Amino acid sequence: MKNMIIFTKKIMFTQSVYINRRNNLKSKGLKGIGLILGNTESPMNYAANTYKFRQDSTFLYFFGLNLSNLAGVIDFDNGEEYIFGDDVEIDDIIWMGPQPTMKELASQVGVNKVLPFNNLYEYISKQVNLNREIHFLPPYRAENKILLNELLGISIKELKTKSSVELVRAVVSLRSIKSDEEIAEMEIAAEIGYKMHMCVFKMAKPGIKEQEIAGMMDGISYQYGEGPSFPTILSVHGETLHNPYHNNIMQSGQLLLADAGAQANSFYASDYTRVTPVSGKFTQKQKEIYEIVRRANQNTIEISAPGQKYLDIHLAAAKVIASGLIELGLMKGNPDEAIAKGAHTLFFVHGLGHMLGLDVHDMEDLGENYVGYDNELNRSTEFGTGSLRFARTLKPGMVVTDEPGIYFIPALIEKWKAENKLSEFINYNQVEKYLDFGGIRLEDDILITDNGCRLIGKRLPITIDEVENAMKE
């Protein structure tokens, strides 16, 4: 049987990587039981027709197995580790081919105690009766909410607030710092992301439907990896931040914004944004705005280093943007005062970036503020700056995105103008000439190193010359 295995989901790293990760988690001082649930298959339009399976990232990180219906348990008090999961039966083999046993699979990640999935109910109820603390992470899928409700008797509405902040903090502290083998996987995701975006430079031209390019990009992400790291954004309406619509026919004079990335076969992610002129050449007006965003993007790479707060790097990008817009006559006054009042957020409506790893917004399921903020840093409640997902002090091994943008969102401009909002910093008469401009965002993925940072992956064309040349080829 062993030699006949025709279907196994590959374990990415060596056994010792997973053993070390769990040992590191055990050293965080938690007491009681850590329950880490894998994901289940999720129906698309009927039970047997499921979405492409995506394992939970924290389960992948500690238990490595890319199969549905598994749960991992770590007993923090005696060090024991379990995987709960079922061996396949003859019906499964008929449809899916021969499979390794759960015991064989679990041993690949260094876990020796394997029990049938249904034993999880008995195991957890025994721990509850012994008054032991059960640490679990905030669930984001309905199936796991129901399972936790059944296991723990906590109502579905309360699961988030009763999840373990201690476990969340411990997981975030480990997953935030990427090891060399993780960086190597992120380089693979970057290479796929590079290929996806290069097809935009080659394909964008008047008369082409957005869907043709978006479909090609997604195809490439499956050709070399596990598919897109999030639904591909490709739109001539870049001013709509997460535009999922791909049915526009591109016209000369428009800007095409592509924000997309890939998951490597190990599920590590990349995330890039580029903007191309559909005609192959930027207009003067487009060049001027593009160049401000490019400088803001470049500035991040020049100043990001251990010890710096990403909030300050975000504000430095805001300053490049405000200064550039003042020079162009769209804003006025002193850039520092304008930023202090939030005037730049009419254009730069979001944060500079987010952490990247096994998730494209890494660990967002655990709570954005646990990932991006810490005890010394409270999240702003202001429009714009409050959207910054990641603000805390940079450390070597962190991977973050650098994605400044300038957008002309007609509804927002009209609202601010009607309120005469911050008119001491904004030339509304000039801004109105840009209502049909669209939006520009430029995004790269950066790794914080011991003394600064470096880009992950080969850099996509980004200067005006590089972009126009790439479109010619």
Site string (234-273) toward Mn ion, x via CB under 5 A:
-------------------------------------x--
Nearer to Mn ion, 191 or 271 (CB): 271
Residue owning tokens 């991977």: 399
User: CA-CA distance, 339 to 345, in Å (whole number)?
Assistant: 8
User: CA-CA distance, 23 to 16, in Å (whole number)?
Assistant: 10
Which residues between 334 and 393 bind Mn ion (CB under 5 A)?
A: none
Q: Which of these ranges, 100-108, 364-372, 398-406, 453-461, lies near Mn ion under the rule CB under 5 A?
A: 398-406
Element (H, E) at 406: strand 405-407
Cα radius of gyration rounded to whole Å, the chain = 24
User: CA-CA distance, 107 to 15, in Å (whole number)?
Assistant: 8
Q: How far is the CB of 250 from Mn ion (least distance, A)?
A: 23
Nearer to Mn ion, 300 or 401 (CB): 401
List of residues 6+ apart from 448 with CB closer than 8 A: 304, 305, 306, 394, 395, 396, 397, 398, 399, 400
**DSSP category for residue 364:** G
143: closest CA among 65, 56, 34, 41?
Answer: 41
Q: How far is the CB of 286 from Mn ion (least distance, A)?
A: 22
Which residues between 268 and 297 bind Mn ion (CB under 5 A)?
A: 271
Which residues between 170 and 229 bind Mn ion (CB under 5 A)?
A: none
Q: How far is the CB of 234 from Mn ion (least distance, A)?
A: 14
Q: How far is the CB of 162 from Mn ion (least distance, A)?
A: 31
Nearer to Mn ion, 114 or 317 (CB): 317
Q: Rounded to the nearest 5 degrees, what angle is found at the Cα of 375, between the Cα atoms of 369 and 378?
A: 55
Q: How far is the CB of 271 from Mn ion (least distance, A)?
A: 4
Q: How far is the CB of 321 from Mn ion (least distance, A)?
A: 17
Nearer to Mn ion, 233 or 292 (CB): 233
Selected binder of Mn ion within 254, 300, 385, 401 (CB under 5 A): 401
Nearer to Mn ion, 229 or 299 (CB): 229
Q: How far is the CB of 293 from Mn ion (least distance, A)?
A: 14
Nearer to Mn ion, 226 or 403 (CB): 403
62: closest CA among 42, 82, 85?
Answer: 82
Q: How far apart are the first and last CA of the chain?
A: 52
Q: Which of these ranges, 5-13, 239-247, 395-403, 413-421, lies near Mn ion under the rule CB under 5 A?
A: 395-403
Nearer to Mn ion, 286 or 401 (CB): 401
Nearer to Mn ion, 167 or 257 (CB): 257
Q: How far is the CB of 356 from Mn ion (least distance, A)?
A: 8
User: CA-CA distance, 407 to 398, in Å (whole number)?
Assistant: 28
Determine the distance from the C-alpha atom of residue 214 to the mean position of all C-alpha atoms in its chain, rounded to a whole number.
Answer: 19
**DSSP category for residue 422:** T
User: CA-CA distance, 83 to 88, in Å (whole number)?
Assistant: 15
Residues at the interface with Mn ion (CB under 5 A) = 271, 401
